[in-house]
Every structure is written in C-alpha cells, then in structure tokens.
A and B are shown apart, each in its own frame.
Chain A
Amino acid sequence: MTFENRNQSIINSTARWGRLSVGLIAIGIAATLFKVAWLKVDPPVQLGDRSGAEQRVNYEPRFRGEITDRNGRTLAIDSPCWRLALDPSYFCSHGYRKMVGEEAGEIGARPDLDLVIDQKLTLLAGPLGLAQEQLRVHKLRTITAKLDDLIGIPKRELTRRLIDAPATKQYVVLEKLLKEWQVDAIRSWLDGRNIGLLLEKRTERRYYGPESLQMIVGKCRDNGVGGSGIEQRREENLQSVRGELKTRRTSRGTVISIPMGSYERGRHGTDFTLTIDAQIQLMAEEALRAQIEVQNAGGGRCVVIDPSNGDILAMVDILNRRPDVEEVILDDPMRRVEPKLGRDRNMIDAFEPGSTFKPFIWSGALEAGVGTRHSVDLKRINVEAVRIKGRRTTVKDAGINAYRGPIKKIDTILIKSLNTGMAEMVRKLSNQEMRSIVKRFGFGSRTNCGLAGAAEHPGQITSLENWSFANTTISVSFGHEVAVTTLQMVRAFSAFCCEGMMPQLRISGHSDVANKGGIDLGPHLLKTRALNPEIARRTKNALRQVVLRGTLKNYGRSDRYSMFGKSGTADLPNPKGGYFKDRYTSNVIAGAPFQDPRIVVYCVIDDPKKNHYGGQVAGPVVKQVVDAALMHLGVKPDLVVEGAEHRASLGTLPLHPGGE
C-alpha cells in the first residue's frame, strides 16, 4: 500500500466516522426536541407534582330545590350568600392567641399586659420569634380595625372569635352571611392581595309563608340535608349535587390542562310543589288562633281539603300553653325550641271525635239495611235515657237544648245529633258489620298523604275480639271508643261530597306539577268507594239540615255558601283514667257549597274554657274559613240573603239548595 493510498484510507475513515457522529448528534438533538415537545404537549401524570404545576378544584355551586305552594308562591328557597373566614396562622400562632386569651381577654384590650406576654414569648421563641409574632399581631390589629371600619363587625368581637378558635381550625369564620355591599367593600379593599382573608360562596335556606306552615315545610340542616317536614321527606327530589372542575395550573395560576375525567357535572335540586294554598293556610291560622284566644283553649287544629282530588289546602296546628291550667293536651317541647321541628298533631295525634263521627255510622247503618231491612222503633228514641244491658252508663242525649221529639224520620237522629237514636240504629248490627263500617271510611289506616310516613297515626279501633255491643258498638255510634286523626276525618267526610267516593289525600302532586316534568307526583289520584251514591246524597241532605236547623244553625252557618256539616263535643280523656266531667274536645266538620262541594273544613279545639259545645266553639272558625277560602278560590256564592243587595245579582239559587 502506497503512502497516498494509506492517507486516502485514513481520510475516508475519518469522514465516515465524522458523518456517523454528526448523524448520531442530529438524531440525539431530534430525539431531545421531540421529547421536550412531547413533555410540554402531553406531560405524564406522574410528573405532575414535579413540574411546578398544581391542581385546583373549582366547585360548582348548586342550589337545593325550591318549595312552592300550589300557586307558585315560594315557601323555601336557597339564597346565595358569602362567608368571610380568616386564616389565623397568617397573623399569629395558636399559642400566642391562647396566652392572649388567658391574660388579657383579647388582643390589645389591655396594653399593660403586652409586656407579660412578650416576656413569655421571649422565653418560648427568643427575640427574633418575638419580633415576628409582634409583627403578626400588629397586622391582626390592623385587619380587625379595617374590617370593623368596612363591614361594621365590631373589632372586639372579631378578635374574640380568633382567640376562641381551636388550633386545629385552618380557618376561623368571621361572618356567616355577608351582604352584597359588604362583599363589594372587602373585595375592593383586598384588590387581589392575599392577606389570609377568604370569601367563600355559600347558600342560605330561606323560608316564607305563614308560621303554621313551618312544621309542614320543615327544616334543612346546616349541612344542606333535610332534617324535618317536606325538606326531609322529599330529600331525594330537593337535594342538589355539587359539581366540580379540576384544573392543572402553573404557580402563577395559568390553566395548563383539564385532565381527562376531571369534570363532574353538578345538578340543581328539583323544585317541589305542595298542594297547600298559603293564603288559605294563613286564613285558617288566623281564624283558629283568634278563636283559641277567645275560648282560652289548650290548642286547636284545622284542616282544609279539596274533596274532589284529595289535595290538602291547609293544615294548621296550634298549641297554647296556659299558665293557670293543668294541661292534659300532650305537649310538644320541640316546637318551642324550633317550630320547624314540631310534631304536627293533624297526623301524629289521634283523639275521640264525638258526634262528628255520627254521619259515618248513620250512613253506614243505612247502607247495612237499617230503616229498610231492619226497622227502627222511632218511638223508643229520646223519651228517656236508654239503658243497654251490660253497659256501665246509660245513653242519653246532651246539648244546650236537647231535642225531645217528635221523631218522624230516621234523618232526625242525625240532624238533632241524638245519642239515643244512634244507639237504636246500631242495635240490629253485628259487631263485624259495625267494625266494617268504621274501616270502610278509612279509620284505622294511615292516609299516607306523603308527609309523616310511618310516623302518621293510623287511628285506633277496637279489635274484633275485644269488640262488644254494649260498650264498643254503642260508644262508637256517637264517636267514643274510637280514635281518629283530623286527616282521616276529612278524608272520610269527602265521601258525602263525592257521591260516596273517598279520595287519596296528598300534600304534593298538584295537577300543574305534571307539566313541569321530572317531579315525583306522589300518590296518584285514587278514589275508594265508601258508600253507595244514594246513601251519600241522603247523608249530605241531612247534614245540610244540621246547618239549617241543628247544632250549627247559630254559629256555623254561612250566609254566602250553602254548608253541610256536623258538630261534636267529646269528653277529654283524663291521663289518670276515665274522662274529665268538665273538659272537652270541641269540633266541627263541614263541606261547601252544597251542589258541588269544593272544600271540606275540619276544626278541632282542645279543652276550651269559655264554652264547650262544638258548634259554638269550632263552628265560627269553620264558617269563617269556608267563606274566606271559597271567596279566595273564586267560587260564586250560592245563597241569596234578603237585604243583601250586592249579592242579589250573583244568582238566583235557592236558600236551601238541597231542596229543603
């Protein structure tokens, strides 16, 4: 090999190696560039924490469903608000706060004590630590003074909250509900600075409507979960689901990415409509409250329903504690603590209704053949007290002026509310027949109106084994030895309004709700037959006569609407056994107008002291509620009263639309 050839070989080899090296370097640079680009475009999750980026969560505020009455009037709504909190560690440590609290009561309240605290701090933290703490305390004094100036929360109160806050708390809440102007003032002062103050979005549940509605609507706990009433029963509908959006950001706050699956969609709660009419509720509440005061009663209940569909329009329960009376009405201490947590006695407490129960037994007896297959000896009635073999007490008629005949028709027994007549009527009925009449009207079973659930009282009926003619059949015929709830009574009374059909009561599921979609309609409109139509009409006619000629003619008779109903006065049970001789439960139930009943009103007044006859005590409330509610519902008055010119033009319906 010559020298030139050898040189050429070396040069070629060097060039090859050179090209290879340049190629490798180029590939390396390209790979590095690619990797850098890849890391920038789609960094692996594992590197997230090391890249300086941080994850931040944005919560979507979601609002609990609104509760409205049947006319769309808001009863409960979530109101957006702000909460002001402070990070105490930004200003002073817990140890310092604790010392200040023990020594001085509050920061800066007694400057002479600062020296003592400083000495203690010097021992604990040294001079530098002391200087640091003093700087923080100075900042704290400045901020409390500023907040006092800006939003009007007293400086002393703010410092007190800071001192009292436990060390485990990262934030101390300074104000739970800030007003908009307060938020604006704080924001403009902060101007984006971070000085340990936190404005947090919150919601506050606000309630509207009459006071007596509180028990029905209920209460929402601080954690946003329903705690009582509709708020609890309809938690599934009303509850909202908070959404969140997780983002990755640089330390400066610039959004880098929204990782896959980091968005969770929230959901507002579904609005919920009650069948309650807030206006009728208010009218009933006012009328009942006034009468309880006039009669110096221990309490009262009033229920208004639409008998055609079972909608509960109003449900009022008032308890009145009288200092000068030894109360026997079961108390409700929770109501005094928080009215929303009260026990609604319309559903929970059962009582003996007295004579208001007679229409059910009277009509049931007619349907069982009393007066047709089984004749009733009308001459035996009402002449003297009836003695029943095996019964402890005789059956006699009561009343302001007890009716003393003549009795030509069986209807008179109901119209004049004769206990002796009822006893004669049920004489031919077997225990089983009698009990089935009571059961047929829904007594002894819950109304399941959608409010109280299992807590609702089903009422109390004697079992067939313990049922006896002398004591049970006779007593039940005039409303004793049977316990009912006000809701059961209005449901049963609806049978006289709807040709013998009883509706399923409901607190939700107003027909308009169906159009909104997505709302639980509650129980569907169900009706069960309690009576045949002819008997129901006959009973309704007799009940109209009660208003015209019977116990309701003086106090429970409307001059605008043709009412039909019944009054009752039951002895109040003595907790020690037996009954009081001079304490009563006065109640009246009525429907109106006669031709096409739109409402049923039931009022019970417990233990009235001034008067005690049902018609006299509860009659005025029922009359007042019937008048006001029907006017409110736009029902044309169907009675023409002489001398009332403004009503003369309203129609020429007869005074006695039942054909009396």
Chain B
Amino acid sequence: MFAKLTMLILGLGLLAALLLVNRQRRYEIVGETVRLHAEIQQLQRAIQERKVRVTEATKPAELEAMKNGLSEQWKSIGDRTQLFDQLEGLEVEKTTFVDPGMELGG
C-alpha cells in the first residue's frame, strides 16, 4: 500500500514538474514573441527613417549640389567643360587608315 501511495505521489509530482517545465517553456516562447515583436517594430521604424533620409537626400536642391560637386570624370559629357577645352586644342593627326574602295580603284 505504501508503495502504491508513494508511486501515486511521485507520479503526481512528476506531472506537476512537467507542467512547470511546460510553463517555463511557455514563458520563454512568450518572452521571445514579445522581443521579436519589439524588434519588428524597431525595424519598421528604421525603414521609415531611411525613407525620410532618401527623401531628404533626393530633393532637387540636394541633387543639384551633388551634381555640381562631382569630379570631372563622373560628369555627363554635356557638362564636361574641360573635355571640350582639351578637344579644341588637339591638332588633327595623319591617319594610317586606307579606304579599301580607293585601293581597288573605286
């Protein structure tokens, strides 16, 4: 009889322990859920901040200033004043190109 009672108590104790383990795991899952929720919120906030920064950085005045600050090599051809200055100074060189039509007497 004593053995049966002991088994019963141990069984119940085990059940209670399992329930407490289950509870602990639930706490951990809930805690993780809340942490992830906060992280998602933080990320969404960060995304919105980036959007605002992109808007600020792509204002026409900003783009114009950026364009003016570019070094010569990054400018579009139309804006390369130095390039045209250089081209104007170049002399026409003799070419070694032979027109095939001329060689054939055409």
- Which residues of B have CB within 8 Å of A282? 60
**Contact: B19 with A40, CB < 8 Å?**
yes
- Which residues of A have CB within 8 Å of B33? 258
**Contact: A257 with B30, CB < 8 Å?**
yes
- Which residues of A have CB within 8 Å of B48? 63, 78-80
Cα distance A494–B52 in the bound complex, in angstroms: 38
**Contact: A77 with B30, CB < 8 Å?**
no
Q: Which of B1-9, B66-74, B76-84 contacts A (4 or more CB under 8 A)?
A: B1-9
Name the residue on A nearest B46 (C-beta). A80
**Contact: A256 with B37, CB < 8 Å?**
no
- The B contact surface, by secondary structure, is helix
- Which residues of A have CB within 8 Å of B8? 26, 30
- The A contact surface, by secondary structure, is mixed
Which of A29, A58, A255 meets B30, CB within 8 Å?
A255
**Contact: B5 with A23, CB < 8 Å?**
yes
**Contact: A19 with B19, CB < 8 Å?**
no
- Which residues of B have CB within 8 Å of A41? 19-20, 22-23, 26
Q: Which of A31-39, A324-332, A557-565 contacts B (4 or more CB under 8 A)?
A: A31-39
Report B5-35 CB contacts with A as 1/0, cut-off 8 Å. Answer: 1001100110110011011001100110110
Known: A33-B13, A258-B34. A61 touches B45 (CB 8 A): yes
Name the residue on A nearest B13 (C-beta). A33
**Contact: B49 with A80, CB < 8 Å?**
yes
Question: In the complex, how many angstroms separate the beta carbon of B88 from the nearest chain A beta carbon?
Answer: 18
- Which residues of B have CB within 8 Å of A58? 34, 37-38, 41
Known: A33-B12, A41-B22. A201 touches B1 (CB 8 A): no
Asked whether B94 is an interface residue with its Cβ less than 8 Å from the other chain, the reply is no
Cα distance A76–B38 in the bound complex, in angstroms: 26
Asked whether A254 is an interface residue with its Cβ less than 8 Å from the other chain, the reply is yes
**Contact: B49 with A79, CB < 8 Å?**
yes
Q: CB within 8 Å of B: which of A60-81?
A: 60-61, 63, 66, 73-74, 77-80
**Contact: A79 with B20, CB < 8 Å?**
no
Question: In the complex, how many angstroms separate the beta carbon of A133 from the nearest chain B beta carbon?
Answer: 38
Cα distance A524–B44 in the bound complex, in angstroms: 34
**Contact: A245 with B55, CB < 8 Å?**
no
Known: A33-B12, A37-B20, A208-B55. A256 touches B5 (CB 8 A): no
Residues of B bordering A, CB below 8 Å? 1-2, 5, 8-9, 12-13, 15-16, 19-20, 22-23, 26-27, 30-31, 33-34, 37-38, 41, 44-45, 48-49, 51-52, 55, 58-60
Q: A255-B30, A258-B30 are in contact. List 15 more A-B contacts (CB 8 A).
A: A29-B9, A30-B8, A30-B12, A33-B12, A34-B12, A36-B16, A37-B19, A40-B20, A41-B20, A41-B26, A61-B44, A73-B58, A78-B48, A80-B52, A208-B55
